[in-house]
Structure 1
């Protein structure tokens, strides 16, 4: 059993809280209109083949028979926003963590986890997924339009990932500095991990992370990155400008260091970053970071150094079409040495093979969820929402650093209903990279 068993305290259900989250999200993101650049949307809606090859970098699974993504099965529980890391001990086993969909009108939120193995093309829990023992946090900054969010209990939208030494989780919860902030904890303290040495700077307890001002009302999707000496930094924003700072063991941070490379970065972003339209489109970071050396592990002449090894992350261009969210994912690479200048940005987004068939596949592979939980096939839009949430190296024992011929696990949600992932050679994601 992977996850430490804990008894869930009984909470009073708070009416309308879940609705409040939805209303705030709509208020925050706004109804957006997607611009039909290059005719991509028109070709998708009309069912033309090859649309992704003209406007996207299509990537394929390294292991599935049809080269398409695979579903993640949490048994009789529904969860979204998946994270996958290799199990530290068991072979061909992964730890899967996701947000449990709460009961209607509930104020109680949880991240559930299980050990999972591949079974008939699906990554399936081998034990009942249980809640990570993450305690609720409290604050008094949820006022006005977000007042009801102060009643929240439990974590949101966790990211579980490896750093150079250990695994971490970062999650959203009530904050002392904003309505919702970001918290970090050594993931080993939340699981039955096995024996490993713990360091005093490893965030052994839940620690609220801070940021250079100004603060937003709802902070989310911050990620840790690590320099060549394994010093930790926090990256807060990728657009309209980068913001990042050195982080301390107590969650405190130094000044915004992005100003040191802003002139260089702005030129690169102006050249390669997706253009944002006037109708409240947005760009935001979405995954954790990893480190990649731009030569093959299989090549004897490949030697990792600062000139060929870069930190990378996935960010997304978010739009709306007929009040339906669309996310287009891009890769961003930056140097692993200060001042962490941008190295490159994808010239076009990547397209996960099988996108547009996710809910139909879920109906086939997860029939136990029932029609009330999955859209009817006839209503599934071809421009199906895939939201990237996490990435990790697939191989047991591989933590932060990889090479371009290594396989990456990319986790994502489908229409806020189904968790899924694809295992892809990381070099395929790097095709068409525009270098600064």
Structure 2
């Protein structure tokens, strides 16, 4: 029996004599190539849609029945049967999200953006903040933003209209990273979120090294580190003149993140966790004020290895279109939460709108179906960061003096030092009946003087003035200027536009502007 001649492939493998390769290639290069190939195959398999996605079946955690408590919040027929909600842009002709060009520093991306609308008096419509990681150092960068259109594709995007500047948030060291030693090597603000308080103060909340914990949660007024904001928002008092570490009731954790501030009328609360639910007052941070944990939130993570955590700041929303009268019954708080889960080696965030009562104890009313931002790849890690009412879009744009703090009927004047009310402004002196009569000599000399315009205060002087006003009014636990629902910065209506800032794969920044109604359509009611 004749022997078969070896094939070309067999001869090729026989010609490979690995023993003759250098030791470095045999022990390092070849194992590294094999490992890389395995990782690529696993990631490719993880990114394939699962069977439940292809069939379009209901996701674990969808709640029934639909949330139809008010006539204004009906679920449109064409949306009633959908298990996901595609959120589209209100201004982009392509109806998709828009990327943000933060003018990254070389190969270091800037991601996870927060966007603050600026008053009409500002040179540019928006102010943006984004994270940048340099080694183990976390940095915060900011620039003023404007919309633009690409020359060829005509697609809309946001880009820096001013040179980005580094926000010098103070860095502290940590000595309490007992279980996670590597966290002590991190420095700088991690997962920063910029947002407005109800009185219009631009705040920053972030995770950072803590002297008492490993990684703690801090809040600070951005006007302390971005001086232009002092001139644009001169009226709200500066409460957090330096980074203030917040506390959780009960046992502290080494790594604290994703906390949210919630506002009821004139009080501020810190919402730490959704499961089990935990929140406290700024004035009483050691007591858990949450009456119970809602089972409907626990069902969002049922039947899958997932974790539910908070994502964006909250906004106050009246479930009616402007103009209408906001009341306690028709007004809620809305935010976006994440259901975080793993598929293979990849992390995904399922985004849902969470709706709670606008008053203490902020009972959960409903949860939206999973939200998909048009223009994004749902196989990517899409991380929602911030919410803000867009004052440059209708109908909010047409309201008079949207950013005039003095027009609010909630404003109270600071008391005089002796406790007496401030004196009324003196009435102007009546003009003389006979204008041609000669005036006395001192009056004539006074009229001939050149009156100089008052000197414009510097940002530092304005900042000091606001800080002193804060000490007089004692805003630490209570803000007497917000004894009501309406607020130019925190409150809106269904036909107003919300700016959602989000990051993509910790590499890119993007934004989508949506009608508030699109976030709360077809909510699933939470009964307990």
Task: Give the TM interval when normalised to the shorter protein.
Answer: 0.7 to 0.9
**How far does residue 312 in structure 1 lie from its aligned partner after superposition?**
1.4
Alignment partner of 1:97 out of 125, 129, 149:
129
Task: State how many pairs are aligned.
Answer: 353
**2:237 matches 1:182:** no
**2:491 matches 1:401:** yes
Contact preservation (8 Å) 1:35, 1:277: no
**2:272 matches 1:236:** yes
Call closer, same or farther: CA 1:72–1:42 in 2, change over 3 Å. Answer: farther
**2:240 matches 1:203:** yes
Q: 2:374 matched to which residue of 1?
A: 353
Contact preservation (8 Å) 1:92, 1:117: yes
Q: 2:282 matched to which residue of 1?
A: 247
Call closer, same or farther: CA 1:275–1:203 in 2, change over 3 Å. Answer: same
Alignment partner of 1:113 out of 142, 151, 167:
142
**2:262 matches 1:225:** yes
Between stretches 135-144 and 191-200, larger displacement belongs to: 191-200
Contact preservation (8 Å) 1:82, 1:389: yes
- CA distance in structure 2 between the aligned counterparts of 1:212 and 1:335, rounded to whole angstroms: 22
> Which structure 2 residues correspond to residues 301-320 of structure 1 after superposition, within 5 A?
302-320=324-342
- CA distance in structure 2 between the aligned counterparts of 1:35 and 1:233, rounded to whole angstroms: 41
Q: 2:97 matched to which residue of 1?
A: 69
- CA distance in structure 1 between the aligned counterparts of 2:506 and 2:303, rounded to whole angstroms: 25
- Per-residue deviation, residues 382-403 of structure 1 (Å, max 9, x unmatched): 6122111111111153411010
**How far does residue 197 in structure 1 lie from its aligned partner after superposition?**
3.9
Contact preservation (8 Å) 1:163, 1:400: yes
- CA distance in structure 1 between the aligned counterparts of 2:317 and 2:490, rounded to whole angstroms: 8
- CA distance in structure 2 between the aligned counterparts of 1:309 and 1:35, rounded to whole angstroms: 41
SS at match of 2:229: coil
**2:324 matches 1:293:** no
SS at match of 1:112: strand
Contact preservation (8 Å) 2:352, 2:367: yes
Alignment partner of 2:181 out of 130, 147, 159:
147
Contact preservation (8 Å) 1:82, 1:96: yes
**How far does residue 277 in structure 1 lie from its aligned partner after superposition?**
3.3
**2:247 matches 1:216:** no
Q: 2:206 matched to which residue of 1?
A: 171
Q: 1:375 matched to which residue of 2?
A: none
Alignment partner of 1:39 out of 41, 48, 52:
52
- CA distance in structure 1 between the aligned counterparts of 2:259 and 2:191, rounded to whole angstroms: 11
- CA distance in structure 1 between the aligned counterparts of 2:514 and 2:344, rounded to whole angstroms: 31
Q: What RMSD, in angstroms, separates the aligned Cα atoms of the two structures?
A: 2.6
SS at match of 2:220: strand
Contact preservation (8 Å) 2:301, 2:307: no
Question: Which contiguous aligned blocks of 4+ residues in structure 1 show a shift greater than 4 angstroms?
Answer: 33-38, 41-44
**2:288 matches 1:256:** yes
- Per-residue deviation, residues 292-317 of structure 1 (Å, max 9, x unmatched): 0000014xxx2101101111111011
SS at match of 1:148: helix
- Which structure has the larger Rg? 2
- CA distance in structure 1 between the aligned counterparts of 2:503 and 2:248, rounded to whole angstroms: 27
Q: 1:158 matched to which residue of 2?
A: 192
TM-score, reference length from structure 1: 0.76
Q: 2:307 matched to which residue of 1?
A: 282
Q: 2:114 matched to which residue of 1?
A: 83
**How far does residue 341 in structure 1 lie from its aligned partner after superposition?**
1.4
- Per-residue deviation, residues 333-376 of structure 1 (Å, max 9, x unmatched): 11122222122211x211111122xxxxxxxxxxxxxxxxxxxx
**How far does residue 38 in structure 1 lie from its aligned partner after superposition?**
7.3
- Where does structure 1 lack aligned partners over 5 or more consecutive residues? 1-32, 45-49, 357-381
**How far does residue 425 in structure 1 lie from its aligned partner after superposition?**
0.2
